Amino acid sequence: MRRVTMAGEVAARVSALPFGTSSARLVRRGDHALFGVSTGNSYFSCRRLAEAVAWAVQRFAVVDVVHADVALQATLEAFGYEPAAARRSATKQLRGVRRRIDGALKHVGASAERVRARPLSDFLDQPGYQEVRARARAALRDDLELRSVRDDTAFRFLAERPRPDGLPAPAQVQAALAYVDAELPFFLDTPRILGVASSVHCYHSVLPLGRLLFGGRPKGPHGAGPHHRQLPGSAARSSGAPAGSATSARTPPAPTRRGRGRVKWTGRRATMRRRARSSPS
């Protein structure tokens, strides 16, 4: 894999397409960018992640790469793995994700010193995360639409691993919900969790929860407030040429199109397009 260090080279691959004045302003402000990487989604290969992070470190004061490790072993057990086998598989999968992230940061070079790479489990005991998660639980109790979309996200994950009878077992449902619930706080208030003034989330697809929370609905919880909110990763997987969109607390997401030969990176305040010229590592 070629070392991604030259600003001109990176700029040729990635460009920001803000969704409006608020989005453009937050990108120009450049407080923070977040990338979410999961074991179930192979889109962020080492090369793609390196190029994306290299783009981000040129524009943002701080960059976070968070990989999902919560409920992975329980999910594997729910799908029939013996506890010991589930533990080994989870360890192997997480090791692979960390290898991708470490490799990407190595190729970014010295600028990677401003990148924080952490597992999701690191946030579980932090006051900011716990506060936002409590708000998420309350919202799920009171907001039927939010709960429906959250459940649909979990069932999309389950649909990729069907049982012979086509129906997920109760333990599988609970594991999938736990996976989504652990990430839901990042939809509601990323700046509070990560201690930043504003945040741009970079992802490769538009998630149903993001469409709901940042689509301008008149009622219910959403990414409101003075700070930029987040479109984090979930159990969803991409197929074909991934598409994405960006949303903000004040700017509803614009519809996205699947373009040939290019990929849209989902930024919370901006959509980033990357010409699909390089092969995944």
215-234 per-position pLDDT tens digit? 656 666 655 333 333 333 32
16 band by pLDDT with thresholds 50, 70 and 90: low
116-154 per-position pLDDT tens digit? 999 999 999 999 999 999 999 999 999 999 999 999 999
CA atoms of 278 and 281, how far apart (whole Å) = 9
198-215 per-position pLDDT tens digit? 888 777 776 788 778 766
Q: What is the pLDDT of residue 199?
A: 86
58-91 per-position pLDDT tens digit? 889 999 999 999 989 888 888 889 999 999 999 9
Amino acid 175 reads: A
Q: Side-chain half-sphere of 120: how many Cα atoms within 13 Å?
A: 27
Q: What is the pLDDT of residue 129?
A: 97
Let me know if 238 is a catalytic residue. no
260-272 per-position pLDDT tens digit? 222 333 333 333 3
In words, the CATH class of domain 7-275 is alpha beta
Q: Determine which one of 38, 198, 234, 248 is catalytic.
A: 38
Alpha helices in the chain (DSSP H): 7-13, 21-29, 46-57, 72-78, 83-108, 127-142, 144-159, 170-188, 190-194, 208-213
